[in-house]
Amino acid sequence: MAETEQAGDRLAALEARMCRLEDEVAIYRLLASYSPAVDSCDEDATTDLWAPDGGYDFGGTPLEGARNVGSLVHLDSHQEYVRKGCAHVMSLPLVSVDGDRAVATGYSRVYLYADDGWKVERVSANRWELVRAGDGWKVASRTNRLMDGSPAGRELLARGLHTDQEIPA
């Protein structure tokens, strides 16, 4: 009996560790889905990454609600990128999970095709606030700030580093 009880404790500990790792890899997968979704102009796939009331603040007027975020693939500016040839590429993010909420911090780059190779059109710091939903992790909010020497990008990165103290509730 004691052995069985001890085995039960070990199982429970393993299950908790498994959930923790699965969460982290699931969040990698979520971020790795974003780029193909927008670069192939897939409105539904983009929408589906966000929580219904989630938002995306990319530096201009923030998009509020998953459907508005998904509609970004039809923006003139996005269509112009796609017509020229673009790739939105995410870095390996720093992920902090706390129960049903998580934060991922990293960088995105937009590469844009020009006559002779690709131009690095945008380099941004990214903060993704994530929530666990019935069908997996969803984006509650994404915030981008250009790494152009202004303080906002650095501040966003600093928050990500010290995120354990302040995952939004």
The answer to whether 144 touches 153, Cβ cutoff 8 Å, is no
CB of 166 to a second copy, least distance (A): 15
Contacts (CB under 8 A) with a second copy, residues 23-42 = 24-25, 28-29, 31-33, 35-37, 39-42
Nearer to a second copy by Cβ, of 8 and 53: the residue is 8
Distance in angstroms between the alpha carbons of the first and the last residue of the chain: 41
Residues in the chain: 169
- Residues forming beta bridges with residue 109, ordered by sequence position: 89, 123
Within the chain, residue ranges assigned H as helices are 2-39, 43-49, 66-70, 76-84, 151-161
Sequence-ordered list of residues with C-beta below 8 angstroms from that of 10, at least 6 positions apart, any chain: none
**167 lines the binding site for a second copy (CB under 8 A):** no
**64 lines the binding site for a second copy (CB under 8 A):** no
Positions that interact with a second copy (CB under 8 A): 3-4, 7-8, 10-11, 14-15, 17-18, 21-22, 24-25, 28-29, 31-33, 35-37, 39-42, 45, 82-87, 89-95, 105-107, 109, 111, 113, 117-123, 125, 146-150, 153-155, 157-158, 160-162
